[in-house]
Homo-oligomer: A and B are copies of this chain.
Amino acid sequence: MVKLVVGLDLGGTKIATCVMNEDGEILKKVTLSTLAHEGPDAVIGRIIESIYDVIRLANINKEDILAIGVGVPGPLDSEKGLIKNPPNLPGWVEVPLRDILYKEFKVPLAIENDANAAALGENIYGSGKGIKNFMYITISTGIGGGVVVNGKLLKGASGNAAEIGHTTINFEGPLCGCGNRGCWEAYASGTALARFAREGIKNGIKTIIKDIVDREGHIKAEHVFTAAKQGDKFAKELVDMEGFYLGVGLANMANSFNPNCIAIGGGITNQWDMFYEHMISIMQERALKANVEGLKVVKATLGPDVGVIGAATLAWRLVQ
């Protein structure tokens, strides 16, 4: 009998679910909209539905599934299988997702922070294969991460280790969504880059980003990169600062976790060549020499599937 698990990545906008075999191959994947505004009961209904959908698509029975792994937005309590109160899942307060899914599927279940699950996935199947001290960082609307040491996830007391987007890089810095000031995320996420652009335009800086905004109605990080590629001075300064802020944060990661390899995923990697060199030179300049001399910083390789692959990897950990 072929052995299979389910991996599910619960996001604020999408639920992605896959069936994976022992070779790490995704047999089938389904994606549906979270419609988070409808609240936990509706979303949990869709989570269960998506698991049945993918099982049906894979032409297997519920009984063929050995385990289910779920990646969720933090904060959570992974020991208890609780989702606490993620900012992008309104109405979720201490939801016992593991128990709810266990009632339905009666198989071993693991629930972890999505970036931690992704780190495990990249370590086993992606950019971190065979790497003993591995770190994955995702940079898109926010910044998240995970650390895997000797194949084991660094979970911390409640599964909330490596909440690196919310480490302070300037205690007097801008307010972050988490309530703290000067978080790495408040400087170097895509959201932050768009905010810096918006602030500049508000302050009357001449930039072609403004034309893009007038055309599209809003600023996204990618507009800044587009404008920089077209030679816009302000956009180029912003991209330069992005590289600096990324480098400052990477130096902290190197000094904190001393990884052999840091893999970066998320939307920002589409612009890799625009910031990579500056980011690395700032990291080298600011980190302790011994902590960066053997360190590789690479682009993550699993792409948009990293979430479900990571979640399925959690499931394999339960039964292998």
Contacts and interface: CB of A to CB of B under 8 A. Distances in A.
Contact of A167 (B75, B77, B84, B167): B167
A167 B171 CA distance: 12
Interface residues of A, number: 50
A132 interface: yes
Interface string A132-170: 110000000000000001000011111111111011111
A255 B291 CA distance: 20
Interface in A239-275: 245, 248, 251-252, 255-260
A236 interface: no
B287 A180 contact: yes
B157 A288 contact: no
A257 B171 contact: no
Interface of A: 74-77, 84, 132-133, 149, 154-164, 166-172, 178-182, 245, 248, 251-252, 255-260, 285-291, 294-295
21 contacts: A74-B288, A133-B155, A133-B157, A133-B161, A149-B154, A155-B258, A157-B260, A158-B258, A159-B258, A160-B255, A160-B290, A161-B256, A162-B258, A163-B256, A163-B291, A167-B255, A168-B169, A168-B252, A169-B169, A169-B171, A256-B256
Given A163-B291, A171-B248, 8 more contacts: A84-B290, A149-B154, A161-B256, A166-B255, A166-B288, A168-B252, A252-B252, A256-B257
